[in-house]
Amino acid sequence: MRCPNCLGRNVRRLKGNRYFCLECFVEIEVRPDQLRVYSINSGGETLCQGVFLRKGQNVY
């Protein structure tokens, strides 16, 4: 899997459908129709930075 944020390949699975990019330090949530990218603030909270539609999905 490549990181949708930096296109790096150094992505590790956390648990379930969540991954972490060791190159740009974002958390990625994989859903059936989209990828969500979260940054982690200094308090440990995740903040949604963007939503990417997966291949073959249409924007309406």
In tens, the pLDDT along 14-54 reads 999 999 999 999 999 999 888 899 998 888 888 998 888 87
pLDDT confidence tier of residue 60, bands split at 50, 70 and 90: very low
In this prediction, residue 33 carries a pLDDT of 87
Global pTM reads: 0.80
pLDDT confidence tier of residue 59, bands split at 50, 70 and 90: very low
Taking a C-beta distance cutoff of 8 angstroms, is the pair 38, 49 a contact?
A: yes
Taking a C-beta distance cutoff of 8 angstroms, is the pair 5, 11 a contact?
A: no
**CB-based burial label for 28 (10 Å; 0-12, 13-18, 19+):** buried
Q: Is the pLDDT of residue 57 over 60?
A: no
